[in-house]
Structure 1
Amino acid sequence: MKLFRFASTIFVFFLLSACGSKDDTQTSIRLAHHLDTKHPVHKSLVYMNEVLQELSGGTMRLVIYPSAQVGTEREVLELLQIGSMGMTKVSASSLEAFVPQMKVFSLPYLFNDHEHYWKTLDSELGQDLLNAGTPFLIKGLGYFDAGSRSFYSTKRKVEKPEDLQGLKIRVMNSKTAVSMVNTMGGAATTVSWGELYTALQQGIVGGAENNPPSFYFSKHYEVSKYYLLDEHTSIPDVIVIGTKVWNKLKPQEQKWLSQAMSEATEYQKVLWAESTQMSLQKVKEAGVEVITADKVPFQDSVSSIYESLEGTILEPLIKDIKAMGEPQ
């Protein structure tokens, strides 16, 4: 299986390299992601392409490969680094290996509310984090809303931290996410997104955590009948471009792409809010019990995580972010 995956990746590499990214009349940038075409992120990337073509007078476009056609987030990031793929959408957690400061977004209960979240992303701090990956040949263009992640479970209802004791919870491949669930009392388990439905169905894990649209569009609600809205983390999606592709763009092309990114972000915020409401309604209609959490016990259960970060590179980031949430 590994040999087949490797061979497939090599085939894609040569195929994409042969396509070329420029001709005499148009600059094409290939963008791959793992989400379904009905997902608000995909729809927003399609909108971004429309804006880019309009701004450039048809001289630039995005060629979008959805639904993991090219590979996992990690595999596509590697293709960005060697220049055979132009752009992708990744969770900020997936960038932790390249930009350790991105771990700050995986910390539980960091933001007071959605306004505080976007104030941080739009700040100089947020922009600095987008640029921090350039030594690793990837540059952040902007953020998309990925809402707040909450717990869902198959057989055991979770309402308080004690209910997580011994429960295997699927988390992303993020040390911070693993630490959070284990500190709360659960047993964090990393499972690939594509294998999670089966893992939930077969009892390999007893639950997972994600935002409402991802819970709905993945159809995990079919096997997970409890959804606890504890909103423990708000981890943004990041639209990234390989520096090899970015540096080949003319200054005016870079401006067009950046403006298209900015407009797509505003468009995606609206789609995301609508999708979140719709998703919660749909899973309720499917028989899922949606529970509003008392967040205080959960916040108290992870206080040791913040204590352990004193003196690390994350401490000043945490202070700056919390200061942005204080009344002015």
Structure 2
Amino acid sequence: MMRGALSLGAVASLPACKPVLSGHLTSADAHPADYPTVRAVEFMGRYLTERTDGRIGIKVFAGGQLGNETDTLEITSFGGIDFNRVNFAPLNSIEPMTLPFSLPFVFDSVDHMRRAVDSDVGDEVLAALEPHGLIGLAIYDSGARNFYNGRRPIRTPSDMKGLKIRVPASDLYIAMVNALGANAVPIPFGEIYQSLAQRVIDGAENNWPTFVGERHYEVASYLSLTGHLLTPEAFVMSKISWDKLSQADQELVREAAKASVIEMRRLWDLRVADAQATIARSRVRVNEVDQAPFAALMRPVWDQFVTTPQQKSVVERILAMREA
């Protein structure tokens, strides 16, 4: 846990129980300061400041200043942080209803993902977080994740055989990569570049902005557009902090969070376009992929992780929103 570090940092100035929720509320994000999610929450803070005459604002601590996502999520549930932007992966371990959003190939396009999270399915998944001390406010994009490596283009699952592919320390990611015939290698995110350069791993997977922003394209010359995951990200508020808001302020916070989604997507789409332009000027070889053979191998993975009637209902409703 990061409690020791937090006691010496910015959160130390926050009383454990604030009698009035006002001023600059805290928000955590592991992404860097210029990332679309960070800028979207800053947009939300300005929105609140303007509509409350400065009474409420948000101070975003980006770049993991307050700890990693697992730690800050727990601190948020205890009321030590007011808002938090997290990937759905750490939420999967505390609330099974969040897991369908993380399944490989459950979304077949960015538009499909956005339709699903903007629907009552998204509302239902966010609402399931409340018993865990979290109020789900918004769902942000995390982009389509693709495989990249330094050995060969991936056009069919057979091309993945024998490749050592980096994954996060997630049972779902490990099961997905192994099911595709590759060897999943869980290593920390910050070690990917060096591991690719030294051929400790053959490849990794992530979205366009990360592939470019972390300079992985310098050490992985093949990018295959598998689009295997379009896992979104969650923006949540501590229920302890939420309960200190008046009903009017609660409604305003929800309104501001909804407006921030529009801003986040605008910024995200620009970021993706910039990354694609960078790769077009590089030596990276990009290839399209027929997703069907890859998706066909995911049934055992889905069966392993989707086990409750409620989860199955969410998956069915997501699939029903695909375009014909």
Q: TM-score, normalising length from structure 1?
A: 0.90
Alpha-carbon displacement from aligned partner over 1:180-199 (angstroms, at most 9, x marks no partner): 11111111222222333233
Distance 2:20 2:7 in 1: 28
* Structure 1, unpaired ranges of 5+: none
> 2:88 matched to which residue of 1?
92
Distance 1:25 1:99 in 2: 27
Q: CA RMSD in A?
A: 2.3
> 1:194 matched to which residue of 2?
190
CA change 1:118–1:199 in 2 (3 A) is same
User: Does residue 1:182 correspond to 2:166, yes or no?
Assistant: no
Counterpart contact for 1:26–1:58, Cα < 8 Å: no
Question: What amino acid maps onto 1:319 in structure 2?
Answer: E
Report deviation, 1:209: 1.1
> 1:16 matched to which residue of 2?
11
Report deviation, 1:302: 2.2
Give the percent of matched residue pairs that are identical in Structure 1 and Structure 2: 27
Distance 1:84 1:311 in 2: 33
> 2:257 matched to which residue of 1?
261
Distance 1:205 1:6 in 2: 34
Report deviation, 1:297: 1.9
Distance 1:179 1:24 in 2: 46
User: Does residue 1:324 correspond to 2:314, yes or no?
Assistant: no
> 1:104 matched to which residue of 2?
100
> 1:169 matched to which residue of 2?
165
Report deviation, 1:77: 0.8
Alpha-carbon displacement from aligned partner over 1:67-106 (angstroms, at most 9, x marks no partner): 1111111111121122111111111122101111211122
Question: What amino acid maps onto 2:239 in structure 1?
Answer: T
Counterpart contact for 2:110–2:144, Cα < 8 Å: no
Report deviation, 1:63: 0.6
Counterpart contact for 1:130–1:141, Cα < 8 Å: yes
CA change 1:195–1:8 in 2 (3 A) is farther
> 1:36 matched to which residue of 2?
32
Question: What amino acid maps onto 1:318 in structure 2?
Answer: V
What SS class does the counterpart of residue 166 from structure 2 fall into?
strand
Counterpart contact for 1:56–1:256, Cα < 8 Å: no
CA change 1:311–1:47 in 2 (3 A) is closer
> 2:133 matched to which residue of 1?
137
Work out the number of aligned pairs and report it. 322
Q: TM-score, normalising length from structure 2?
A: 0.91
